[in-house]
Structure 1
């Protein structure tokens, strides 16, 4: 995914950005994902003109496409879930580009988020896998 080319991809990109900025894991109970979408006028409780059932799209379609993981947190009552990047997002989405995107969104230097910056720009070759940076 280079940059969002359609609205669904744009929505996915925003969700992945939130998860990345929050350290890779976001509990659904924290409502961070849903409140971020609400700021974009995408509400989970009502049918959206373009996306239909937004919650189903996020927790089912994006999960099926392996862009997101929607994982049950063990031993929680009532049942809780958390969001993580899926396998496909890890392969197709550059964390460096994601950080640039977030920097533009918040008008901040990407390096000001030091933890995310280190994750997006790992030291070369020592930890880098075969498809580390594109």
Structure 2
């Protein structure tokens, strides 16, 4: 699978998480649940079927990753039928580099990571020690 292109976790579940976090980051910090399931289906990981590496994909994503605080799984108010969205969890904010996500996306799409200028600025504002605390807090709070 394409995850081997980048220095991603060798654990398959962490690879799955990395893909989901990449989508969330590239889409501005919040994505509807349906978008995640559609992207995973394109990667031949169907949330409705048992997967040989991940088991029950939907349970792994919505229960395990949420319980581990890598993802937030939030009900969207006033939706009928009920809809949910995913966001980066507190643990992902601490353990996953957004700059690494951009390198990963650049390798997949054969593009310079700087071509996603908004994400590039966000990734480097947060990960650069010289950035002021208020600017990185403002950047991350926009997506919460």
TM-score by length of 1: 0.88
The match for 2:65 is 62
Judge which range, 55-64 or 73-82, deviates more: 73-82
1:83 match: secondary structure: strand
Indicate which of 117, 131, 140 corresponds to 1:125.
131
> How many pairs does the alignment contain?
127
The match for 2:12 is 7
The match for 2:104 is 101
Indicate which of 109, 114, 118 corresponds to 1:111.
114
Taking only aligned residues, the RMSD between alpha carbons, in angstroms, comes to: 1.7
Q: Deviations over 1:76-130 (max 9, x none)?
A: 221111000000000000111111111111111101001100110117332347x
Indicate which of 79, 84, 88 corresponds to 1:85.
88
Gaps of 5+ in 2: 1-6, 138-144
Q: Deviations over 1:17-44 (max 9, x none)?
A: 000000000012xx22112111221111
Distance of 1:71 and 1:128 partners within structure 2: 23
2:18 aligned with 1:18, yes or no? no
Indicate which of 24, 34, 38 corresponds to 1:35.
38
**Off by >4 Å, runs of 4+ in structure 1:** none
Q: Deviations over 1:35-83 (max 9, x none)?
A: 2111221111111112111011101100000000000111222111100
